[in-house]
Amino acid sequence: MDLLTILVIAVGLSMDAFAVSVASGAVYKKLEIRHAILMAVSFGAFQAIMPIAGWLAGLCFRRFIQDFDHWVAFAMLAIIGCKMIYEAFAIKKTDKKLQSMSFLVLLTLSVATSIDALAVGITLSLLNGAIVTTVIIIGLVTFGFSYAGVHIGKKFGHFFESKIEIIGGLVLIGIGTKILIEHLISS
């Protein structure tokens, strides 16, 4: 997998964390720079860890599906992308200003925004992707987007939130389609 594809996957995966960061910046009135850094570190770390878990799981059953792995990769990325697009329309706005984010809330958000990365890790195991480079890039991109998202949220609120989810979903569907087409053409 080339660097550009890895970057596009990283950006697509980071959109959930970015949207949550934007929403957090808009909702939590006492969110400071240290909170933005903590959120970015947490989101970035979980986005890097989950693909490793998925990759390890994928290695266990890769031999059973290697004849149709391109279809599995396409289906998983398309499902994740469609889920992100659906969730973009399901986001509820809130007017309530909250005081601060607890550790439990941050942990829950970190896990929730990184579940898609678990499925991408499974896909990477099917494609024999370079996992170390990929997870480092995913973690760093997510960190950057999350940190920026908090500050954007403080300034612009919910204006971008659902649009970002839609773009992330379309990116993942596009990558899945690219994988499928490349495999079908080379067969």
The full DSSP string for 65-77 is HTTSHHHHHHHHH
Tell me what pLDDT residue 108 has.
84
Two tokens, residue 54? 């998925």
Which amino acid belongs to residue 66?
Answer: Q
Tell me what pLDDT residue 159 has.
63
Q: Are 173 and 77 in contact (CB under 8 A)?
A: yes
Tell me what pLDDT residue 168 has.
67
Tell me what pLDDT residue 96 has.
47
List per-residue pLDDT tens for the chain, 187 residues long: 789 989 999 998 898 888 888 877 877 767 788 889 999 999 999 999 999 999 998 888 877 877 787 787 788 778 877 877 887 777 555 444 445 567 887 888 888 888 888 888 988 887 776 799 999 999 999 999 999 998 888 887 656 656 766 776 787 788 778 878 877 887 6
Work out how many domains the chain is built from and give that number. Answer: 1
Q: What is the residue range of 21's domain? A: 3-186
pTM exceeds 0.85: no
